Each structure stands twice: as C-alpha cells, then as structure tokens.
Amino acid sequence: MKGESKEGKDTRDEKTGKWSGSNIAAEWQKERDIQMSRKNRQNSRPIRMYCFRPVQVFILGTAPILKKAFSSRLAEALKMKNYRVAQIGADRNHGLISSSFATLGDECKKEEVDSIRQCYVPYLAGFNISLTNNQLPEYHYFHTVRMDWLFAGKTDAQAAVCTLGNALVACTQPFTCLGERTYHDIGLQNSSDALSWWQDLGLTQYQCGDGYKILMNNFDCITQAHINTGPQIQTCSEKAAVIIAEGKPFCEGGMQYFLNCANTVFTHYCNADVGVWFCNSLMIGIEDTDPLCKNKMHCPQPSV
C-alpha cells in the first residue's frame, strides 16, 4: 500500500517506509537510509516509525540550514583568524553552512541547565521522542524523525512543528547563559551534536518567527533549493575564503560576501524573498556561533 503526498508528487510505501517519486523524496530517502543504517550498527536504540505529522525547519538542520558549506580553504582562513572550527566540509546534498566557528560563552548554573533540559521534554514529546538517561537524543536521530514527518505533511507539518518550536523558544528565552556549552552540560559529549542543537534553536526562532510567512509561501521551492544549490554555495564559500585569506575583515568582509552570494543564488533559484530567508538563516547561524559577528553583517529586507 502506498501513501501519497499532498501535492501528489511523492509516494511512501507503508510497509517499508521508503519514499519515492520526486527529487526531494529520492535525496531524503538516501540520507534517511544512511542514518538509519548507522543507528542499527550502533545498536543504541530501536528504530521507531512515526505516523505523526512531519516537522520543521530546513535545518537543520539540521539539521538545519547550517549544513556544511564551508570549503577547506575557508576552513583554513578561519583557523588563521584563531576561530575554533568544527565540522567544516562540503555536503553535496545540502551545500549550506554547517557549524562554522564557535565561542563557548557563559556557563549556565546547574539549576539553569536542569531547567533548559526540562524545556526540551514537551518539545521532544511532540515528536514522540523522550530524553534518554536525562540526555537529549543524538541530533541526527532527531533530525531523521523530523524530516520523515516533514515529507509526509509538508506545510501542515511545518505549522505543527512551529507550534512546538515557538514554545521551546519561549521556554529557553530567559536563560541568557544558553549556548553551545550548555548542550555539553546537558550531557552531549559529541561537540558536533552540541553545536547542532544550539544552531537548531536559533534557526527555529527565525524560521518559525520572522521568516515563517516566507517559508510557508515558498515551501516547495525552498525545499528544492536546499537540495539543488550545493555547487553554487560551494563557489560562494571558496570566494569568501579568498577574501578572508587576503586579510579583509572576517565578519564584514568574508562572511558578508558569503551572505550576499548565497542571497543571489537563492534569489535566482526561487525569488527575492527566498534569497532574504536563506540569507537571514545563514546570518543567524553565524551570529549564534560567533558573537563577534553580531551587528556586523546584514541581509536585504523582505517584501512580506
């Protein structure tokens, strides 16, 4: 028996859980198979199939949108500027900036960490996931579940996930100490996971807030752009690396060029508002992981 997506483009075999049909479905099925195979090998948690509505932002991300777009040359330029570089590389499927660089920030007190952890309990429950040994799940596992829902429900799912996401943002908002370091304190030993969860939160705030209308109005094109613009974004990354290596300002020079270039790519692929949406998503990810860049970069204003 096969289930069909709302637009009638993608089909899902109910017995195997596999998607087929469009480019989007094929690309996601490939990524999902890799992640599920990895979980089987780790033998850490049984793979569960969910029939809820899908979710969320193109993160993350992502996870998110901040997904491995810095070239090796840009990575070297970042290192020359004494930034801590994590998970930098090219991702042919997503082609978007990954974890870039991070500062550790303030350290939350134990009671604050406990409260932040509790904010995630209802959020994860919305995806039928729970804390394990009082820790957040592996980010890729969470992201896989979220993307399954996304391809099943599309804009209906996005609306549902933003209800969950906005509640999470409101719950965590009072904790000014919150940063990548907090996710280590919650129990994540993997630096990549901690940074991914941190970036996911920042992107959720934008994509379910100021960027929500653009996302819902351009859902299908944003999905396609996320998959198909990798080579162009890689070129943006290479040129940004050259700018930084030449000694131009890191934030106002190299990173601003990267944002301008990405904006142009996504504007040509979809429209000007989508270009702004991706630009803001990338800028927020950069600022979340490098406070020195706050208020030193900009994106155009959207029409909506």
pLDDT computed for residue 114 by the predictor:
95
* Average pLDDT of every residue of the chain: 73
Find residue 68's DSSP bridge partners: none
pLDDT score of 128 more than 80? yes
Which residues pair with residue 20 across a beta bridge?
11
Q: What is the pTM for the complete model shown?
A: 0.69
pLDDT > 90: percent of the chain: 42
Q: What is the pLDDT of residues 99-115, one digit of tens each?
A: 333 344 468 999 999 99
> Going by DSSP bridges, is the β-strand pair 19-20/2-4 parallel, antiparallel, or unpaired?
unpaired
pLDDT digits (tens, 9 = 90+) for 212-224: 999 999 999 998 8
pLDDT in tens, 4-37: 443 444 555 555 444 455 454 455 455 555 544 5
Residue 189: CB atoms within 10 Å: 8
Among candidates 59, 101, 96, 98, which has minimal Cα distance to 80? 101
Q: Which of 261, 240, 238 is nearest to 250 (CA)?
A: 240
What's the pLDDT tens digit per position in 68-89? 444 445 545 444 443 332 222 2
Question: What is the residue type of 152?
Answer: A
Q: 36: exposed, middle or buried (C-beta count within 10 Å: 0-12, 13-18, 19+)? A: middle
Q: Which two tokens stand for residue 249?
A: 């300002």
| pLDDT band with cut points at 50, 70 and 90 for residue 127 | very high
Lowest-confidence region among 90-104, 216-230, 285-299: 90-104
160 pLDDT higher than 80: yes
Closest CA to 304 of 272, 265, 263, 264: 272
Q: Residue 169: pLDDT band by 50, 70, 90 thresholds? A: very high
List the chain domain ranges: 48-293
Q: Which of 182-191, 192-201, 214-223, 229-238 is least confident?
A: 182-191
Q: Which tokens go with 197? A: 């969860």
Q: Helix, strand or coil for residue 41?
A: helix
CA distance 199 to 201: 5
